[in-house]
Structure 1
Amino acid sequence: MALSWKLVIDSTNASALANFWALALEYEVEDPSALVEQLLSAGRIGEEAVTEHRGRKVFRGYAAIRHPEDPFDGLSGIGRGRRLLFQDVPEGKTGKNRLHLDVHGEPGGLGELVARLEGLGATRVREVDKGPAGHWWVMRDPEGNEFCAS
């Protein structure tokens, strides 16, 4: 049986990075507000574990996105499919990512894809041309994490 998984990405502002990647991938930002309220009411977490983002109560230092067509838990908002979790960490990024996302656009639409990603806050790093193997851009998200757009 295949295992379930999520990709966890360290960040300095989980909610902002989740917003960027949700727009970039056309995913949905998870809404954990019902679970947060339930845990607060039961005394299982304190107010220090919670913050507000875009009018919703969320867990401080955490935000996740999920594919809009994948199943999710109605109470927690947690996706049960393709999912990215962003978690705030105290240390900053110091080197090249050992794992990164590749974002694929429509055939022939690389220019439009790169422009859209730049409009969301990404920056171009370098163009890669592998001849018959393809052409893509190495880019950085708003926190400097590398990814490829092709």
Structure 2
Amino acid sequence: MALGWKLVIDSANAPTLADFWAEALGYEVEDPSALIEQLLAAGHLPDQAVIEHRGRKNFRGFAAIRHPDDPFDATSGVGKGRRLLFQDVPEPKTVKNRLHIDVHSDPGGLDDLVSRLETLGATRVNEVNKGPAGHWWVMRDPEGNEFCAA
């Protein structure tokens, strides 16, 4: 039996990094504000556990994005399919990622993809051209996490 999963990414500013990746991938930022309102009203969540980001309530230190075509829970906003969860951690990134995302362009669209990602805040690190094995760019998101644009 196949297992469900989500990719969790450490961050310094989860909501901002979620915004970047939502734009980069065409995903939707999850909206937990209805759940947060319920938890606050019931006294199950302290005010200091909540922040406001782009006019919506979020759990402090967490933000998630989901594929727009996948199902999600309407109350919590939590996706039930392809998701990325960003969680704030106290320590900064210090070494190369052991796991990374590959973002794929349409055929012949690598230059446009890389340019679009740069306008969102990504930076180019290294161009890789392996001939018939592929051509891609190693890039960094706004917090320095490596990923590939191919």
1:95-110 equivalences under 5 Å are 95-110=95-110
Kindly indicate whether residue 54 of structure 2 is the aligned counterpart of residue 54 of structure 1: yes
For residues 51 and 36 of structure 2, what CA distance do their matches in structure 1 show?
Answer: 10
Q: TM-score, structure 2 length as denominator?
A: 0.99
Q: CA deviation at 1:41?
A: 0.8
Q: CA deviation at 1:11?
A: 0.1
Q: What secondary structure, in the 3-state scheme, does the structure 2 residue paired with 1:137 have?
A: strand
1:109-148 equivalences under 5 Å are 109-148=109-148
Residue 27 of structure 1 is matched in structure 2 by 27
Structure 2 regions of 5+ residues with no counterpart? none
Q: Deviations over 1:25-45 (max 9, x none)?
A: 000000000000011111111
Q: Deviations over 1:64-118 (max 9, x none)?
A: 0000000000000000000000000000001000000000010000000000000
Kindly indicate whether residue 53 of structure 2 is the aligned counterpart of residue 38 of structure 1: no
Q: CA RMSD in A?
A: 0.4
For residues 4 and 36 of structure 1, what CA distance do their matches in structure 2 show?
Answer: 24
Q: What secondary structure, in the 3-state scheme, does the structure 1 residue paired with 2:2 have?
A: coil
For residues 110 and 42 of structure 1, what CA distance do their matches in structure 2 show?
Answer: 50
Q: What secondary structure, in the 3-state scheme, does the structure 2 residue paired with 1:116 have?
A: helix
Q: Which amino acid aligns with 2:20?
A: F
Q: What secondary structure, in the 3-state scheme, does the structure 2 residue paired with 1:139 have?
A: strand
Q: Which amino acid aligns with 2:23?
A: L
For residues 125 and 53 of structure 1, what CA distance do their matches in structure 2 show?
Answer: 30
Structure 1 regions of 5+ residues with no counterpart? none
For residues 46 and 138 of structure 1, what CA distance do their matches in structure 2 show?
Answer: 41
User: How many residue pairs were aligned?
Assistant: 150
For residues 5 and 14 of structure 2, what CA distance do their matches in structure 1 show?
Answer: 19
For residues 98 and 131 of structure 1, what CA distance do their matches in structure 2 show?
Answer: 25
Identity score, percent: 77
